[in-house]
């Protein structure tokens, strides 16, 4: 076991970056592109094929991660983990009501439009790849190497920042720098929220599902707004969205309050076989 993990034991921070961004690149680009090429004869467009491949890639990366640290890492959910995760993540429903209420105002009615295959698989890929890499891999590795009660909030922040950095790749698409920085800030805030839920329960599947649902609803709502002739989100809407995201982040820190940190440490001591 020690020889297999010698590098990560000696260089935990560098290993964290390699594991998270390496997993992101392998799942979304390497495996995603390979699967896309294999699906091309079926008539699927490049974007749809790559998204399907990226989702499969995330599952492969997750399986390799579990296998690499097995049997030391107990990845299977404990009794109550799934239900408990849904309870902790439930405030996102309030966020959705407020967020999509604004989109409904901009769309002149119900904002959601029918989602095609491409929209669904893009949302699925985002939920799978991002949660596997920046929650499951990043947080479980930090819990193995860096866990103590004082560092728990910092682990959530680190997960959010790593998640936010991936959106800097939009610079190559020629998007305005201010728009990209705004997107990075929003994803950092959301990342802290998802990280807090995952730290509390250790179940990545619920977080993946909710992330997928959020992105799918957002894609459908943006389409409705666009069809109503609103090409650019007004400044007041952007400010409100930032406030709502900040609210999720604050709630995430509440989930990681001092009275819960011993419980979080005990969970991760168990998951890493430091406690029977």
DSSP of 133-195? IIIIIHHHHHHHHS--GGGHHHHHHHHHHHHHHGGGGGGGGT--HHHHHHHHHHHHHHHHHHH
Q: Is the pLDDT of residue 159 over 70?
A: yes
Residue (of 118, 115, 162) closest to 137 by Cα position? 162
**Inter-residue contact 3 to 33 (CB < 8 Å):** no
Say what the pLDDT of residue 3 is: 58
- How many helices (H) and strands (E) in the chain? 13, 0
The radius of gyration of the chain's CA atoms, rounded to the nearest angstrom, is 19
Q: Which long-range contacts (CB under 8 A, 24 or more apart) does 169-178 make?
A: none
Average pLDDT value for residue range 163-174? 80
Tokens matching residue 10: 């000696």
Mean pLDDT of the chain: 93
What is the H or E stretch that residue 236 is in?
helix 235-255
Q: Is the pLDDT of residue 170 over 80?
A: no
Say what the pLDDT of residue 1 is: 46
**Inter-residue contact 53 to 26 (CB < 8 Å):** no
Kindly report, residue by residue over 78-133, the tens digit of the pLDDT: 888 899 999 999 999 999 999 999 999 999 999 999 999 999 999 999 999 999 99
Least confident of 56-65, 155-164, 223-232: 223-232
**Inter-residue contact 85 to 223 (CB < 8 Å):** no
* DSSP symbols for 21-53: HHHHHIIIIIIHHHHHHHHGGGT--HHHHHHHH
Helix pair 138-145, 258-271: axis angle to 10 deg = 90
Say what the pLDDT of residue 136 is: 97
Tokens 């990280």 map to which residue? 195
Kindly report, residue by residue over 111-120, the tens digit of the pLDDT: 999 999 999 9
Tokens 């698989």 map to which residue? 121
CA distance 131 to 227: 31
Say what the pLDDT of residue 276 is: 66
Maximal C-alpha separation, the chain? 61
Average pLDDT value for residue range 188-199? 97
Residue 264, CB-side half-sphere exposure with 13 Å CA sphere: 27
Model pTM above 0.75:
yes
Say what the pLDDT of residue 177 is: 86
């Amino acid at each position: 076991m020690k020889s297999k993990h010698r590098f990560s034991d000696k260089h935990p921070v560098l290993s964290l970056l390699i594991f998270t961004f390496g997993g992101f690149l392998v799942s979304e680009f390497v495996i995603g592109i390979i699967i896309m090429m294999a699906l091309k004869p079926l008539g699927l467009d490049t974007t749809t094929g790559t998204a399907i491949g990226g989702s499969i890639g995330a599952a492969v990366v997750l399986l390799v991660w579990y296998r690499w640290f097995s049997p030391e890492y107990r990845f299977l959910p404990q009794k109550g983990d799934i239900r408990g995760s849904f309870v902790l993540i439930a405030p996102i429903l309030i966020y959705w009501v407020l967020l999509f209420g604004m989109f409904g105002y901009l769309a002149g009615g119900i904002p959601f439009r029918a989602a095609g295959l491409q929209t669904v698989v893009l949302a699925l890929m985002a939920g799978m790849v991002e949660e596997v890499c920046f929650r499951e891999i990043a947080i479980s590795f930090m819990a193995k190497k860096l866990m103590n009660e004082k560092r728990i909030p910092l682990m959530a922040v680190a997960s959010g920042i790593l998640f936010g950095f991936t959106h800097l790749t939009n610079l190559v698409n020629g998007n305005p720098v201010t728009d990209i920085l705004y997107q990075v800030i929003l994803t950092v805030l959301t990342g802290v929220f998802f990280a807090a839920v995952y730290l509390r329960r250790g179940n990545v599947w619920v977080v993946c599902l909710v992330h997928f649902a959020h992105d799918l609803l957002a894609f459908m709502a943006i389409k409705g707004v666009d069809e109503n002739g609103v090409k650019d989100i007004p400044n007041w809407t952007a400010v409100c969205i930032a406030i709502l995201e900040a609210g999720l982040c604050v709630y995430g820190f509440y989930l990681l309050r001092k009275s819960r940190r011993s419980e979080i440490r005990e969970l991760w001591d168990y998951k890493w076989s430091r406690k029977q």
